[in-house]
Amino acid sequence: MTRGLAQRWRRRGGRIVRLLLTFDDIMEFALALLALSPAELEALGWSFADRKRLLDHFLASGKSAQGVDPGRLAKTPIELGMPQRDVERLQLFARRELPKAASNAGVIDRVLSALDAASHRPDIAAVSYRRNGAACRPSKMN
């Protein structure tokens, strides 16, 4: 019985992580995910189903935003719940592809800091990236 529970937990992606982003950042991040070509999906090691699952997390934020005044919606922080596995995939995407698609560097900084804070991963503490869209790599903290 315990073995079946552990297998289901791993299949779902592990523990649920809470991610806090503003509505504007969520929408820009979702648009960047939609803009990925099949070749870029393959380079990330993702399938179309993976991208759809990640986009579904962002679409769930629309339900949270329905009761908010439209004038304040852009800067309203929205909490997303997603499996740890998906947060790790979004971190990879944010480091590699988001700098190519984001409208400004502030979005990149806010998204990366929110993903890093939500992941609770001590081995990935700081991110070094270049604003020209080159691939990013995490730097380890000692």
Is the distance from CB of 51 to CB of 83 less than 8 angstroms? no
- Tell me which H or E stretch contains 16: strand 16-22
**Would the pLDDT of 6 be above 70?**
no
- 49 token code pair: 């189903």
Number of domains in the chain: 1
Torsion-angle region of residue 139: left (phi > 0), alpha (psi -120 to 50) or beta? beta
Instruction: Give the chain's mean pLDDT.
Output: 77
Predicted confidence (pLDDT) per residue in 94-115, tens digit: 998 888 888 888 888 999 999 9
- 111 token code pair: 């998204």
**Would the pLDDT of 52 be above 70?**
yes
pLDDT, average across residues 27-55? 91
* Position 32 confidence tier, pLDDT thresholds 50, 70, 90: very high
| Assigned domain for 6 exists | no
* Position 9 confidence tier, pLDDT thresholds 50, 70, 90: low
Single out the residue of 3, 57, 67, 69 nearest to residue 29, CA to CA: 57
Handedness of CA 34, 39, 44, 48 (dihedral sign): positive
- 9 token code pair: 């937990």
| Assigned domain for 7 exists | no
Single out the residue of 122, 115, 123, 118 nearest to residue 94, CA to CA: 115
- The answer to whether the predicted template modeling score (pTM) of the entire model surpasses 0.95 is no
pLDDT of residue 39: 92
| Assigned domain for 83 exists | yes
Question: Length of the chain, please?
Answer: 142
CA-to-CA dists, residue 92 to 6, 46, 62, 68, angstroms: 25, 11, 24, 31
Q: List the domain range (segments joined by +) for residue 126.
A: 16-139
pLDDT of residue 19: 87
pLDDT, average across residues 36-41? 91
pLDDT of residue 58: 85
- 137 token code pair: 């790599």
